Every structure is written in C-alpha cells, then in structure tokens.
Chains A and B, each alone.
Chain A
Amino acid sequence: MSNSRITRRGFLRGAGAALAAPYVITSHALGLQGRPAPSGRIAMGAIGLGGRGRHDLSALMANDDVQMLAVCDVKRDARSAVKRMVDAKYGNADCQTYLDLRELLARDDIDAVLVATGDNWHTTAAILAAKAGKDMYCEKPMSVSVTEGRALCDAMQRYGTIFQCGTQRRSVPRFRYAVELAQSGKLGELKTLYAEKAPPEWFEYHPYASLPPEPEPPKDVIDWDMWLGPAAWRPYNATYLTRRFWMANFDFSGGMLTEWGSHTADLCQWANNADDTTPVEFELAEGTVVAHYANGVKLVFEDGKWPLHVRFVGTEGMIYVDDDGNIEAEPKSLLADRKFGKGYPQANHVRDFLDCFKSRRQPVAPAEGAHRANSTCQVANICLQLGRKLTYDPKAERFVGDATADRMLARTMREPWGLA
C-alpha cells in the first residue's frame, strides 16, 4: 500500500480541520451593546425535553446570543411545558413545538440543536441533525454501541459539524486542573486511573427486563413508537419512560458503566492523552472491570458512591476530585493556594459550544473523544457480560480473537431507523 493512501477516518479528520473557518459574525464584531441583534444570534432547537433537556435548555437560553426557536419531544406534556418556559423567557409565543425531530431539523432557520433525548436516541438524532446541516450540543453517553459511536463521529467529520458532548466536567476548573496535572507529568509517570460507575443501588432492574403491557396512550399524548425509536419493540408500559428503568436497560442505555463512566472514564481518558484511543485489554479483576492501555496505564472502574469522583495516580503523586468540590492531592504542594468551586455547572461548557459555533473550532468535548470514552465503557460492559478477559484493537475497533464479543459491538436498529 502506498504511503499516500489514507484511511476513511484519517481523511475525514484531516479534511475537517482544513475547512474550519468562521462563518458567523459575533456580537463583538457587530459592535452592539447588550443582546446581539437577531441576525447575530444562534438560532436553536431542542430535541428531548425531560429533566436533563430542560436543564441544558435553560443553560443555553441564559446566553444572550442564543434564540431558542423550537422544541421537540414525543410527550405532549413536555412539549407544552417547555414551550411555556421558552415563551416566558422571550416574552412572546413564538416557540414552535414538534413531536417528530425530522420536522424540526427540516427548518432552514435553525442553526444548531440540543440533543437531550434518552441515550437510545442520541446517535440517530445527532446523525440526522448533522445531515441537516445543524451543529449540536449532545447529551452523554453519545451512543449505546461502539458501532453507533463510530457512525456518529463519521457524520460529524463528513459535515465538519461542531459537536459538544454533554460531558460538562471537561469545563469545570478543578476537573480540568486534575487532568492538566496528569497530562503535564506533575504526577510523575501515570500508573492508575480510577473511574466510578454509577451507584449500583440506582439499578434495580435487570438490564434486559421487560414490563407487563399497559394501554398505550394516544400518539399525540405519548408517541410510544417514536419513544422506542431504534430500540426493539415491546408493548407500552409507563415505567419504561422513567429514567430509573431506561438507564438500567441495555436496549436504551449502557447501565451504570456508561451513566457515570461517560464522565469519569472520559476524564481518565483525557488525563491519559487517550482521546483518540481506548484501553487494549479488559479483564475482571479487583472485583470489577480493570482495563489496560497500550502505554501501560491501568484504568479501574470502581463502584460509584456519591459524590462522583475521579482519582489519578502517578509515580510522583495523586489527585482526587469530586462533584462536591473536594480536591485532594499528594504531595499537597500540587494544590498550592488554589481555590476551586463546588458542583458541576455547565455554563462554561455551553459557552464553549456557542463560541466554537462561531469560530468553527471543535469544542472541548468533541465527538471522537466522547466516542472513545463511551467505547471504553461499552467494551467494559461486554467484558462484564462475557466474564472473560478481552483484547481490543482500538484502531480497528474490534476484539482480537473473540468472535462473540465482536458481535456485541453493534446493535441492529429497528426500522425505519438506521446509521447510514
């Protein structure tokens, strides 16, 4: 093979960077005081209006250069409630509601979208949005299989889409500081990274549980077929729509590993400069899943316990950071007089997305990094389900010598939904 030949993925990456040119005039450029003129605002739509969706939507609308034009959900109550929120914010009745995301995406006057559906829908919604020419802030975990994550990355690369994954801890200063310590070598040679799974007590259901049928509501109230989307069909039961059920179910999510792992493993990957790869070996050890990177660094998935935290250990030091604002380091001098806040607000993360929309640079949580972090969790899930050591090739995104595990990298989408 000649050196001039390039892989499909390599092509997409290189060409995407080459065309990253700004095409929106900022309010600064317009020289306006206060809120930018309508022509300087980013016209947005929101898809998925549950608790997280409303939280994200509020964070986006807190920015004067955002104009939320439309909202979409398969539940009528959610559509109505969020339309009221948006209209109240702008003092008008202009916000349009949609049941079908394809109708919202068909609007030429929308520049970007929030994707905050259930996990099962993230990939499909994101790919449809990219094909429609929209940039996006997309909630995590961005897919329910490795193959879907790769398809999402390919679509973002194809269109040069600005994609920010909702892994907002990447924009929280104390988590960033911990990552910087690891990346800069101030912890010495990195040895072990600890990523938490979500607390096991949150997961009361079997990952493939089903529920007894209940009468299906009218489509306008809850469109059950659209709620299921690409997932396998089953008769309606209201409990499916609750987060505690779908978060635990492998048709709709990735359970405790992806629920928190999409944050914690993501930070570990980032700390290990591994945004474009994953561990190469996964095994059941130390009472959990332990993964090993090609560079010798070990990733340990720990049982989660609030507050969510990560810990990075190197030959010369250690740092621990959590959601309650605690930060501990050895040696203590690593922290010096630094002061950090509490919580995990997403204002910075949302702002980063909006700024990148304008500059056409990729944000701090781009598709490839989010995909690799999520893949790490997905492969760890496969390791847990098969109960055996697995060797994984991050370049091919296939297992080595385990045909059954390979079959688990993809799920077949229910018609009419697909990846292409």
Chain B
Amino acid sequence: MFTRMNGIVCLTMALLLGCVASIATADEALDKAFEALKTYKWGQDRATLGAIDAAVVASHKDDAAKKDLEAKLVAVLKSDAPQAAKDFVCRKLSLIGSAASVPALAALLPDEKLSHMGRYALERMPCDEAVAAMRDGMGKVKGLVKVGVINSLGVRRDAASTAALVGLLEDSDPQIAGAAAAALGAIGSPDAAKALGAYQAKAPKELKLAAADAYLACAERLLADGKANEAKMIYMTLAKPDQPKHVRLAATRGLLAAAGQK
C-alpha cells in the first residue's frame, strides 16, 4: 500500500536526486566551459563560456568555490591559451581575484598585448598586493604600457608611488610625464602638491594644461581633506595671468571655496 509517508519519502528522494543531477550537470558544464576556454579565440561563440560566467556569479559568499574558480582561471592565464581566452580570464579575475591571482596578473604587465587586461583585473582588486604589483611593475615597463600602469596607480591613489611618480615628471616621453602628473593630482597629498608645484614652471609647453589640471585636482583633494591653506596656495598660483582663462577661472572658483572653509 502506498502510504502518505512513502509518498513523502519518494518525493524527497526524487528532489535530492534532482539536486544531485543538477549539480552534476552544472559541474559538467563548467568543466566543458574550461575545456573550451583553453582554445577560445576571437569570434568564437561567447555562450560556450557561459558556465564560467554563471559560476563566478554563484560564488558570491562561497569562498571555497571562489578559490577553486580562481585557481582554474590562473592556470589558463599561465598556459599558452590564445589572447581572447586570457582576455576573458582577466575579466573574471577582476571580479573574484584575490592575492593568489596577483603574480600571474603582474606577469602580464610588460606584455603589450595583455598589459591592459592585467591592469583590468589588478585595478579592480581591493587587496594591497594588487596595487603593490602595479607599483613594482611601473619601473619595469616602458612606453604606452607604462602610461597605463601609471594611470592605474592614479586610480588607486597609491601614495606609496609618489616618489617614483615625481621622478617620472622629468621623463622625456610627454605621455609618461603627463600621466605621472595626473596620477599625482589624483593622489592629492601634500607631497604630491609640492612636486606638482615645482613642475608648473618646468613643464614643457605641450604639458602645461595637463600640469595645471593635475594641480587643480590635487587642490580639490587637499580641500576635501581639510587642508584649505595648502589648497589656497595652489589656487593662487593657478589664478595668475600666465594661465589660460579657463584655468584661472577654475582657480578663482577654488579660492572662493577655500575661503569658505575655515
């Protein structure tokens, strides 16, 4: 006789089996996606990697799953997988990457083809190791790639990079010097202000506006940090007649704001 209790037991068993089957299916799909990733090239169906997208989202609040995924992604990064595959990996690590991913990502920084995607992940990762890797990497890279690393350190407002950035203001490549000035402006510390102040007179003609903009940004940071006097000094410098009109107006606005902050 099929009792009500038997029915409940059967239903429970069926649900459990269903869950197990569904987990097994998900695992299989994930394995298949990682297999596809190893040879993934531009133009291939992006949906073949969908199981990895889903696993990354599902790993929210599941540290073990996150670690497992991270390890698999890093393995692809260290392999000879195509550029499109590594591009994908960096995007995923930008979401779940931890200090464990940093060495593999840092290794991409000097690579002209993958440096940006390495930063794409490192810049988003909140751990100190990520910003330290970019700081260390800055001295080891050249040209446009260096500009990118400097930009990322500016985004992270890495005060520990200040001395190195100050040195780069003298770089013969105007893109590097301009990026260094902008990063110092974003850092916005008294040390950065001092360096940018000295740079205003020295900046080559093509970098005058970039230098002034960085100095204005620095003043805003100082003002927001309650350092009104330091900010005022900057604004007074930039309000002088040797500056273009829009810079003078910006500086005059800054002076008004600084005057309102006692």
Question: Given A213, A233, A386, A416, which contacts B113 in the complex, CB threshold below 8 Å?
Answer: A233
A131 at interface, CB cutoff 8 A: yes
Given known contacts A210-B84, A211-B42, A386 and B116 CB-to-CB distance under 8 angstroms: no
Question: Given B175, B185, B220, B226, which contacts A416 in the complex, CB threshold below 8 Å?
Answer: B175
A396 at interface, CB cutoff 8 A: no
**Contact indicator per residue, chain A 386-401, by CB within 8 Å of chain B (1) or not (0):** 1110000000000000
Which chain A residues border B247 with CB–CB below 8 Å? 133
Q: How far is the CB of B10 from chain A (nearest CB, A)?
A: 32
**Contact indicator per residue, chain B 181-220, by CB within 8 Å of chain A (1) or not (0):** 0110110000000000000000000000110011011001
Q: CB-nearest residue of chain A relative to B91?
A: A208
Interface of A is mostly: loop
A415 B145 Cβ-Cβ under 8 A: yes
Question: Given B124, B151, B175, B221, which contacts A413 in the complex, CB threshold below 8 Å?
Answer: B151
A407 B124 Cβ-Cβ under 8 A: yes
CA–CA, A2 and B226, complex, Å: 9
Interface of B is mostly: helix
A4 B224 Cβ-Cβ under 8 A: no
Question: Given A132, A234, A417, A420, which contacts B185 in the complex, CB threshold below 8 Å?
Answer: A420
Which chain A residues border B249 with CB–CB below 8 Å? 19, 159-160
B257 A15 Cβ-Cβ under 8 A: yes
Q: Give the contacts of A1-38 with B (CB-CB under 8 A).
A: 2, 4-8, 11-12, 14-16, 18-19
A415 B57 Cβ-Cβ under 8 A: no
Interface range for A: 35 or more
Which chain B residues border A221 with CB–CB below 8 Å? none
A18 B46 Cβ-Cβ under 8 A: no
B167 at interface, CB cutoff 8 A: no
Q: CB-nearest residue of chain A relative to B114?
A: A233
A14 B260 Cβ-Cβ under 8 A: yes
A420 B214 Cβ-Cβ under 8 A: yes
Q: How far is the CB of B65 from chain A (nearest CB, A)?
A: 13
**Contact indicator per residue, chain A 151-183, by CB within 8 Å of chain B (1) or not (0):** 000100011100000000000000000000000
CA–CA, A341 and B37, complex, Å: 54
CA–CA, A418 and B46, complex, Å: 28
B254 A15 Cβ-Cβ under 8 A: yes
Given known contacts A403-B126, A410-B124, A418-B179, A4 and B257 CB-to-CB distance under 8 angstroms: no
A209 at interface, CB cutoff 8 A: yes
Binding site for B on A (CB under 8 A): 2, 4-8, 11-12, 14-16, 18-19, 131-133, 154, 158-160, 206, 208-213, 232-235, 237, 385-388, 402-404, 407-408, 410-420
Binding site for A on B (CB under 8 A): 41-44, 46-47, 57, 60, 84, 87-88, 91, 94-96, 113, 115-117, 119-120, 123-126, 144-145, 147-148, 151-152, 154-155, 175, 179, 182-183, 185-186, 209-210, 213-214, 216-217, 220-221, 223-224, 226, 244-247, 249-250, 252-254, 256-257, 260-262
